[in-house]
Amino acid sequence: MIEFNIPTKLVNLTKASLSNVRCRVKIQNHLSESITAERGLRQGDSLACQLFNLALEKCIRVSGLDRRGTLWNRSVQLLAYADDIDINGRSERAVKEAFRVLEISATDMGLTINEDKTKFMEVPSSTENYTPFRINGHTFERVSEFKYLGTIINDQNMLKAEINNRIKSANKCFFGLKKQLRSRLVSRRTKMRLYKTLKLPVLLYASETWTLNVDVQRALETIERKVLRTIFGPVQEQGCWRTRYNFELYRLYKEPQVTHIIRSNRLRWLGHV
């Protein structure tokens, strides 16, 4: 994965197009004194992304790399998003050749490669000795896993680390909302909306690519039932309180289980691909 820095040409262009920019910080209903922005674009400005995409798109086209097809019928495939480019190749030689031509066109545009953020990974890994990857005077770290667009990818093509990370993040979200989910002042309808809009997206991020084996299903269903038991609470029988059975939870929930949602999303994603 290659990480690019902002080119000098774009910096000069943004300075010319956004001169005398002043910003203010709003804290609740109070505005701070105005601040002069002398470098870069305003936070969240759509112009920054568009300018960078234009520069990066030109680099890829000028490089002459074939962008059609995938690794099924090509030796190299490029995946580009914002300032990240992922070079996938059938061999180390193919990756190096693609890197060389891409670096030449990037240099002409004023783009520089960020060595600290650029990583090299071999799938499947043929050695446990992760020596640095050197090419054209650059030294890149050879890793066993890295995070690309928020998803953990490893050299064994195993999803366990990514799914565990999703479950861990969902647990953090659950404990952050636990007070509201247990509150008697909040209706069940509102609690369900909090669960579906705040927690489920965290748990199901990039789940379209998951393989649902027995262990994964059990872990996902466990965390789902934990949230549902917190929302619906225990039930009283003959003067004693007990936790609700699984079938009782889903009868009250009246929504597809998390594993069913993942399967549905996988079919939708397959149609998109």
User: What SS3 string covers 92-131?
Assistant: HHHHHHHHHHHHHHHHHCCCCECCCCCEECCCCCCCCCCC
User: Of 272, 170, 152, 186, whose CA–CA distance to 225 is shortest?
Assistant: 170
Residue with tokens 């909040």: 186
Each residue's pLDDT, cut to its tens digit, for the chain (273 residues) gives 555 555 555 555 454 456 677 778 888 888 888 887 776 655 566 677 777 788 888 888 888 887 777 888 888 888 877 777 888 888 888 888 888 988 888 888 878 888 888 888 888 776 666 788 888 888 888 888 888 888 888 888 888 888 899 999 999 999 999 999 999 999 999 999 999 999 999 999 989 888 888 988 999 999 999 999 999 999 888 888 998 899 999 999 988 999 999 999 999 888 887
User: Of 153, 160, 150, 98, whose CA–CA distance to 121 is shortest?
Assistant: 153
CA end-to-end distance (rounded Å), the chain: 22
Per-position b or e across 37-69, b if 16+ CB within 10 A of its CB: eeeebeeeeeebeebbeebbeebbeebebeeee
CB 153 within 8 Å of CB 121: yes
The alpha helices in the chain, defined as continuous H runs, are 8-17, 46-63, 92-108, 160-182, 188-194, 200-203, 214-232, 246-253, 258-272
CA distance 267 to 262: 9
Residue with tokens 């059990």: 218
203 CB-contact burial (10 Å; exposed 0-12 / middle 13-18 / buried 19+): buried
